Amino acid sequence: MNPSLIQTIVVYALPVIFAITLHEAAHGYVARLLGDNTAYMMGRVSFNPMRHIDPLGTIAIPLLLYFATGGAFMFGYAKPVPVAFRNLRNPRWGTFWVALAGPLCNFVQALLWGVLTLALAAFGVDEPFFTRMAAAGVGVNLVLGVLNLFPLPPLDGGRVLTALLPPRQALSLARFEPYGFFIVMALVMTGVLTRFWLRPLVAIGYDAVTAILTPLASLLH
């Protein structure tokens, strides 16, 4: 295996594990707060990554795509957290907050990795492994959060949009759910989603993280 690939895997391993695990756990945690214990009863409100990793979507598909495209493209997913939306005290707005919880958790994680970046600089730690890991943590979480906000079921953004739409339009959008994954894959592989959704929104995410952390950066210098 290429040494640079091994280094990249090691640098990204912890940020990716945290990003996926906490994203999925956040869905289950908020669902429990809002009336549905399904995820909790199935052990999915957990910080244990093994409860959220899908052998195919989290490991096999990303590695296959990485090697097949020479590192130019990688895509994956975790096991969806089971939520019985009808059990939520307010199914419409409960669905909204349960779906939004994952991407919001990723944005919070991006901020925390950003704080780590500032702390490393403030304490004069210039070890490349740690600085690269902190930078990877910001990037991975912004990409995962933005990708999941794409407004197409079964992605989180699709469920958020479904909750906001009038019933008839929401039902029409929900019909795309069985095909949503394949549509998103096609849009990613053709570069459409990257160019018109991921790239501009991740850039906005970086700007937001920078703006929020600027006062802290001023204090540490």
| CA gap 61, 80 in Å, rounded | 16
Per DSSP, the three-state class of 110 is: helix
Instruction: Note whether 57 and 78 are within 8 A (CB).
Output: yes
Query: What are 196's two structure tokens?
Result: 């018109």
**127 in active site:** no
Rg of the chain (C-alpha set): 18
**Set 24, 58, 138, 209: catalytic member:** 24
Beta-carbon contacts of 201 under 8 Å, excluding residues fewer than 6 positions away, are: 146, 149
Q: Which of 19, 41, 21 is nearest to 31 (CA)?
A: 41
Sign of CA dihedral 157, 162, 166, 171: positive
- Cα→Cα distances 133→61, 75, 89, 204, Å: 23, 19, 40, 21
Active-site residue numbers? 24
